[in-house]
Amino acid sequence: MITKDKIESFIEKIPPSPKILKETISLLNVGELTKAAKVAEGDLALKAYLKNIVNKPIYGFKNEVSDISQIFGILGVSLSQQTLYNYMISLLSPNKWVLFKLNAKLFHELQANLSKKWETILKHLKIDDKNIYAAISLLPASIIVTEALFVQKIDDVNLLRTTKALDFNTILIRLCGVSLFDVCEQIAQKWEMDSKISQIVQASSGVKPSDNKEINQLGKWMHLLLFYELSKPAFIEARLNDFVDFQIEYIEDIYNEFASLMEIQ
């Protein structure tokens, strides 16, 4: 049984934003890219992460980019901040994955793919809001949460999935009454992320639509993007294709528009 106490214990173990990250994000909030880059230089692990993410094929750079100032300059304020949140999420990743057949390289690839395509979606929707850009960073967090909460009950979880064909989110809701998106909201609150982030991620579950029209619409795009990425062969093999239940009726009004946008990528 996965109790609420176990979930709260997991949340408590999540470290607060490191000082360098907090300062870097604060500087990005006021558009100080150069100063933010100087602060970020003080975290060697962060530098390595930024270099690794930005030089992935999806970003399309012909020459390797390694200078932090150059990376922030290329990404701009919103995407730089989003990438820092991605880094914070990656700090929660297990050293060895059990439930999902993932590793650091594949997980970072998922983060990069989601981030870049979320940027494409927001540009298509003519939205320029760094808080909304950051919302996509919590979707990979829900995968880490699933791994952490289920790994000690792996046999029970696999049996439940085999006999009832349930997605992981439904299993968690049945076991303790909260969803993976509820847990991600707790992570966002602990890290003092903007309240919009939690609202959009909750809407992206497909079962908790928002009363706010803009947030609900963004939740639809995020829901579709999640399934689009997790349907790729590498992530199907990693067992992520049954992550949450696809709510086709929820996204019906934007499906064709989304499909057309992804075709030009």
19: CB partners within 8 A, 6+ apart? none
* Residue boundaries of the structural domains of the chain: 4-263
What DSSP assignment string belongs to 120-169? HHHHHTT---HHHHHGGGHHHHHHHHHHHHHGGGHHHHHHHHHHH---HH
pLDDT averaged per 10 residues, the chain (length 265)? 77 77 89 92 89 83 84 88 88 90 92 92 93 91 89 86 84 86 88 90 92 95 94 93 89 95 80
Instruction: Give the model's pLDDT for residue 235.
Output: 94
Sign of the dihedral defined by the CA atoms of residues 236, 240, 245, 246, in that order? negative
pLDDT for the residue numbered 115: 92
What is the spatial distance between Cα 61 and Cα 80, in angstroms, rounded to a whole number? Answer: 16
- Concatenated DSSP letters of the chain: ---HHHHHHHHHHSPPPPHHHHHHHHHHHTT-HHHHHHHHTT-HHHHHHHHHHHTSGGG--SS----HHHHHHHHHHHHHHHHHHHHHHHTT--SS-SSS---HHHHHHHHHHHHHHHHHHHHHTT---HHHHHGGGHHHHHHHHHHHHHGGGHHHHHHHHHHH---HHHHHHHHHS--HHHHHHHHHHHTT--HHHHHHHHHTTSSS--SSHHHHHHHHHHHHHHHHHHTSHHHHHTT-TTSS---HHHHTTTHHHHHHHHHT-
CATH architecture, range 4-263: Orthogonal Bundle (1.10)
Instruction: List all residues 6 or more positions away from 197 whose beta carbon is below 8 Å from its beta carbon.
Output: 131, 132, 134, 135, 138, 188
